[in-house]
């Protein structure tokens, strides 16, 4: 089963993808995580994308095409995958559709996690990333100062540069302008099934809804 997890930045795609990847035993591929690792490791790719990401803009479709082809041709995804963060523009959808045809990926669905922008804005500006376990943590969930509530690591919680309020506003605009039209594309060309999920409920409830609805995929 190939799942594209879709929604605005902060809708909970990463959190849900990790959870369902464990239940279904298929890998979670996050283009954002791959790019952030490249930035941290200061690779050629990382150097190219660092400033773009910090500003909340999108990396070029050509760079993403290279990256996504490598990911989808890898052996790791031969039993399915959860793709998080791609496609993000209509041009990327066209490329993704070409790869799906070439690689015979015909059992795909798109999970659209729906959350209002004002809820997202609050979520993103108060969240932290654990650089030890990659968990996304809300400031209000931290019980012990400077300690990740998920893995217990000390001093591992950082604020993503792109979670600064002005960058969050920009990312939401980019989503509205460039990414949301993907839904229209798939409504017109239903090569994969769109499954809508209410993302404005407790994390566990969202996972339950996803797993129940995936049976129709």
The contact set with ligand AMP (CB under 6 A) reads: 9, 31-32, 35, 52-53, 56-59, 64, 85-86, 88, 92, 162, 171
Q: Is 127 a catalytic residue?
A: yes
Shortest distance in whole angstroms from residue 100 CB to ligand AMP: 15
Catalytic residue, chosen from 19, 36, 123, 127, is 127
Which residue, 12 or 32, is less far from ligand AMP as judged by CB?
32
Q: Is 13 a catalytic residue?
A: yes
Which residue, 48 or 147, is less far from ligand AMP as judged by CB?
48
Catalytic residue, chosen from 91, 160, 169, 193, is 160
Which residue, 38 or 210, is less far from ligand AMP as judged by CB?
38
Shortest distance in whole angstroms from residue 24 CB to ligand AMP: 20
Shortest distance in whole angstroms from residue 136 CB to ligand AMP: 10
Count of all residues that appear for the chain in the document: 217
Q: Is 169 a catalytic residue?
A: no
Q: Residue 34's closest CA among 19, 53, 15?
A: 53
CA 153 to chain centre: 24
| Catalytic residue numbers, as ranges | 13, 88, 127, 160, 171
């Amino acid at each position: 089963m190939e799942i594209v997890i879709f929604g605005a930045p902060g809708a909970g795609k990463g959190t849900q993808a990790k959870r369902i990847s464990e239940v279904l035993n298929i890998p979670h591929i996050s283009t954002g995580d791959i790019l952030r690792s490249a930035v941290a490791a200061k690779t050629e790719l990382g150097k190219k994308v660092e400033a773009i990401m910090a500003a909340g803009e999108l990396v070029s479709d050509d760079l993403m095409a290279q990256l996504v082809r490598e990911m989808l041709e890898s052996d790791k995804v031969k039993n399915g995958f959860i793709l998080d963060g791609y496609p993000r523009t209509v041009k990327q959808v066209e490329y993704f559709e070409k790869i799906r045809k070439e690689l015979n990926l015909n059992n795909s669905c798109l999970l659209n996690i729906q959350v209002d922008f004002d809820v997202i804005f609050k979520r993103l500006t108060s969240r932290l990333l654990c650089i030890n376990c990659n968990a996304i943590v809300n400031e209000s969930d931290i019980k012990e100062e400077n300690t990740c509530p998920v893995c217990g690591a000390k001093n591992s919680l950082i604020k993503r540069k792109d979670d600064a309020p002005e960058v969050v506003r920009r990312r939401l605009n980019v989503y509205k302008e460039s990414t949301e039209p993907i839904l229209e594309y798939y409504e017109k060309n239903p090569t994969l099934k769109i499954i809508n999920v209410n993302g404005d409920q407790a994390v566990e409830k969202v996972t339950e809804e996803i797993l129940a609805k995936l049976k129709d995929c």
